[in-house]
Chain A
Amino acid sequence: MTSTSDGVGPPSPPGAMEWIRKNLFSNWYNSLLTILGATVVYFTLINIITWVFNTADWRPVTVAPLLYLVGQYPREELWRAGISLLMVTFLVGMSWGVWKRYVRAFAIFMGILLGILAVFPLETTTITLPIRAFMLINPFLIYLGYRIGRLQSVHGRHVATLWLITLLLIPLVILPGFENSSLLPKVPTTVWGGLLITLLLSVGGIVLSFPIGVLLALGRRSSLPVVKLFSIFFIEVVRGVPLVTILFMFSIILALFLPSESRIDRVIRALMGTVVFSAAYTAENVRGGLQAIPPGQVEAAKAMGLKNFHITILIVLPQALRLVIPTIVGQFISLFKDTTLVYIVGINDLLGIGNAVLNLNPEFVRLQMEVYLFIAVIFWVFSYFMSYASLQLEKALGVGER
């Protein structure tokens, strides 16, 4: 290391040895703690690694990986799920190109993960070569999307529009298909399952409940008594009832009241329950943000002659939503995990599939640890990336830099 100690410039960062000495071995009890901690970590790691690679029996996972991903979605129609994934990865790539560093880590991680999955040495007959090839396209598609997103003529609003179209197209057209269509034959939601259902319910729940929640929060502060009363009633009733109850209400009671020919699809019913539940909590969180906006903001806007609608859209909401991003994302992470409750109304989400697999084979019954750990890791990865995305969003919008 060359020291440039002219008295200017910041001091060079300490070397590795120096850092270790200062932070881990500065005095005798610090050293003791370090050695103790290292020992504990060492043995725990050894145990975990031995368990994962030697003791654990991963057959319940490896015997049917596709089951965890899409449930009973017909294998000959699997390409539709594949196409959907390709569309999403391409858009992730475009988002990276347009929004740069805020999406970069996410996009790169996703590409690497899908790349690894594509070549993962798994001895199973269900993951055929075409499926692996499909997976392997994803990382390249991310890169392609990135290059396109970086073009001068591509703007954030284009990508946002594409996201909107895609998020509507996948669950409403591509995956369900149509009656008597030869290209996209109908696939009833009864056979959908696994991660597909989990993502559908949580992404759908989040995307749909957010605007409804914002409207309810505004409604609660409205000067129109009817709007105000309805909002308060809705929010308070829903918040007073557990999610399981709401899911039951939508799956069973709704079906009882409606004539059988206008039966709403059961996944949609579960989604409606999720949306209603989440909207009430979003509303309360957003209301917290609305209350934090100083009255001077509205007064200044009024004094300039802005209409109430513009004041809400341009002044109040942008500031309020910014304030509540961390809370809302926390709420959405909970919602993501809470979707496992749909297992109770007979929908095979990721957890439901896990339970089904455990019952598949008498030998699997004692392998709960493996199955639940596998599912937990999947949930953790998604939850972690949601909070990561929230941090990036906060940075992009400059929360706390008022």
Chain B
Amino acid sequence: MSEQNKDDQPIVIARDVHKWFDNFQALKGINMEVKIGEVIVIFGPSGSGKSTFIRTLNRLEEHQRGTIIIDGIELSHDVRNIERVRREIGMVFQQFNLFPHLTVLQNITLAPIWVRRWSKEKADEIAMQLLERVGIPEQAQKFPGQLSGGQQQRVAIARALAMQPKIMLFDEPTSALDPEMIKEVLDVMVELAKSGMTMLVVTHEMGFARAVAHRMYFFDGGLIVESGTPDQIFKNPQQDRTKLFLSQILSH
């Protein structure tokens, strides 16, 4: 990529991000910097603001205080900036959110055709490469409803990758899956991480975190309580809340 020269420049900068839902404060000042190629794992108890935070990064939620800069573009009310940022960020949701009325192939080529204005041929070709990459090229002509949960989530990953994003966001991508399907999705994500993709992943799959995360952030009550490398977090957590939470999710 052309950004090699500014490798140390963070591609995601969040400074003092605050977010209120009416009177309820979901984010109370989040600071985070992510460099190109870094894999970030965000974890924490339910309601701690993990989803809210990563959704502010592509403006699915609007932050009310603080600064968010993605690849040099600051997120504000400027619609053009929002569109530019969304083109650079792919997102994978807990509930897959595939379009049920479109085939797998159409799901993947939709944004490249309508946003990137690629020809259908080019979009189809790249979509098929991506389906190869996530291991389900034979499902291209099926509808999402005909696939298993694990296959659907892999399509969703391929769909996000089709826009050739610089950053990928994952919001609990395996929480809605049956246990036997979790691995096939995690394998795809591990491969993606190793290929150098910048990733922010909300997950409680600690095996994944150990394997590929560069840094982990523990969220609680709308704040980052603790952060560090997986080694630091697993072997030597500083905060009691982190210890307690880890003991709870690692015990089963």
Verify that A and B bind, or say they do not.
Answer: yes
Interface, chain A (partner B; CB < 8 A): 294, 296-297, 299-307, 310, 314-315, 318-319, 322, 398, 401-402
Q: Are the CB atoms of A299 and B97 closer together than 8 Å?
A: yes
Q: Are the CB atoms of A304 and B115 closer together than 8 Å?
A: yes
Q: CA of A402 to CA of B146 in the docked complex: distance in angstroms?
A: 8
State the Cβ distance, A152 to closest chain B Cβ, in Å: 20
Q: Are the CB atoms of A402 and B99 closer together than 8 Å?
A: no
Q: CA of A144 to CA of B203 in the docked complex: distance in angstroms?
A: 62
Apart from A305-B86, A305-B115, A402-B101, 14 more pairs, CB < 8 Å? A294-B95, A296-B97, A302-B60, A303-B58, A303-B160, A304-B90, A304-B159, A306-B110, A306-B115, A310-B114, A314-B110, A314-B114, A319-B101, A401-B143
Within 8 A of A (CB), among B84-105: 86-87, 89-91, 93, 95, 97-101
Answer yes or no: B111 CB below 8 A from chain A CBs: yes
Which 7 A-B pairs rank lowest in CB-CB distance, beginning with the nearest? A300-B97, A304-B111, A305-B86, A296-B97, A303-B91, A402-B100, A305-B87
Q: Are the CB atoms of B114 and A319 closer together than 8 Å?
A: no
Q: Are the CB atoms of A315 and B83 closer together than 8 Å?
A: no
State the Cβ distance, B148 to closest chain A Cβ, in Å: 15
Q: CA of A387 to CA of B114 in the docked complex: distance in angstroms?
A: 35
Q: Are the CB atoms of A305 and B60 closer together than 8 Å?
A: no
Q: Are the CB atoms of B86 and A300 closer together than 8 Å?
A: no
Can you list 14 A-B contacts with CB-CB less than 8 angstroms, sorted by A residue number?
Answer: A297-B97, A297-B99, A300-B93, A300-B156, A303-B86, A303-B90, A304-B115, A304-B159, A304-B163, A305-B111, A306-B115, A307-B83, A319-B99, A401-B145
Q: CA of A398 to CA of B145 in the docked complex: distance in angstroms?
A: 11
- The chain A residue with its CB closest to the CB of B114 is A310
Within 8 A of A (CB), among B44-85: 58, 60, 83
Q: Are the CB atoms of A296 and B115 closer together than 8 Å?
A: no
Q: CA of A300 to CA of B97 in the docked complex: distance in angstroms?
A: 6
- The chain A residue with its CB closest to the CB of B59 is A302
Q: CA of A302 to CA of B145 in the docked complex: distance in angstroms?
A: 21
Q: CA of A303 to CA of B110 in the docked complex: distance in angstroms?
A: 12
Contact with A along B207-229 (1 / 0, CB 8 A): 00000000000000000000000
Query: Which A residues are CB-close (under 8 A) to B115?
Result: 304-306
- The chain B residue with its CB closest to the CB of A296 is B97
Q: CA of A305 to CA of B91 in the docked complex: distance in angstroms?
A: 11
Within 8 A of A (CB), among B137-175: 143, 145, 156, 159-160, 163
State the Cβ distance, B57 to closest chain A Cβ, in Å: 10
- The chain B residue with its CB closest to the CB of A398 is B143
Q: Which of B83, B97, B100, B101 contacts A305 (CB 8 A)?
A: B83
- The chain A residue with its CB closest to the CB of B163 is A304
Q: Are the CB atoms of A304 and B101 closer together than 8 Å?
A: no
Query: Which B residues are CB-close (under 8 A) to A306?
Result: 110-111, 114-115
- The chain B residue with its CB closest to the CB of A321 is B101
Query: Which A residues are CB-close (under 8 A) to B100?
Result: 319, 402
State the Cβ distance, A224 to closest chain B Cβ, in Å: 15
Q: Which of A302, A310, A319 contacts B86 (CB 8 A)?
A: A302
State the Cβ distance, A220 to closest chain B Cβ, in Å: 23
Q: CA of A306 to CA of B83 in the docked complex: distance in angstroms?
A: 8
- The chain A residue with its CB closest to the CB of B88 is A305
Query: Which B residues are CB-close (under 8 A) to A302?
Result: 60, 86
Q: CA of A401 to CA of B101 in the docked complex: distance in angstroms?
A: 9
Q: CA of A294 to CA of B100 in the docked complex: distance in angstroms?
A: 11
Query: Which A residues are CB-close (under 8 A) to B145?
Result: 401-402
Q: Are the CB atoms of A296 and B101 closer together than 8 Å?
A: no
Query: Which B residues are CB-close (under 8 A) to A303?
Result: 58, 60, 86, 89-91, 160
Q: CA of A318 to CA of B99 in the docked complex: distance in angstroms?
A: 10
State the Cβ distance, B66 to closest chain A Cβ, in Å: 21
Q: Are the CB atoms of A322 and B111 closer together than 8 Å?
A: no
Query: Which B residues are CB-close (under 8 A) to A315?
Result: 99
Query: Which A residues are CB-close (under 8 A) to B114?
Result: 306, 310, 314
Q: Are the CB atoms of B110 and A304 closer together than 8 Å?
A: yes
Q: CA of A303 to CA of B99 in the docked complex: distance in angstroms?
A: 13
Query: Which A residues are CB-close (under 8 A) to B95?
Result: 294, 296
- The chain A residue with its CB closest to the CB of B115 is A305
State the Cβ distance, A115 to closest chain B Cβ, in Å: 39
Query: Which A residues are CB-close (under 8 A) to B111?
Result: 304-306
State the Cβ distance, A110 to closest chain B Cβ, in Å: 30
Q: CA of A307 to CA of B145 in the docked complex: distance in angstroms?
A: 25
Query: Which B residues are CB-close (under 8 A) to A301?
Result: 99
Q: CA of A202 to CA of B38 in the docked complex: distance in angstroms?
A: 62
Q: Which of B83, B93, B98, B159 contacts A299 (CB 8 A)?
A: B93
Q: CA of A242 to CA of B116 in the docked complex: distance in angstroms?
A: 49
Query: Which B residues are CB-close (under 8 A) to A294?
Result: 95, 97
- The chain A residue with its CB closest to the CB of B144 is A402
Q: CA of A215 to CA of B94 in the docked complex: distance in angstroms?
A: 32
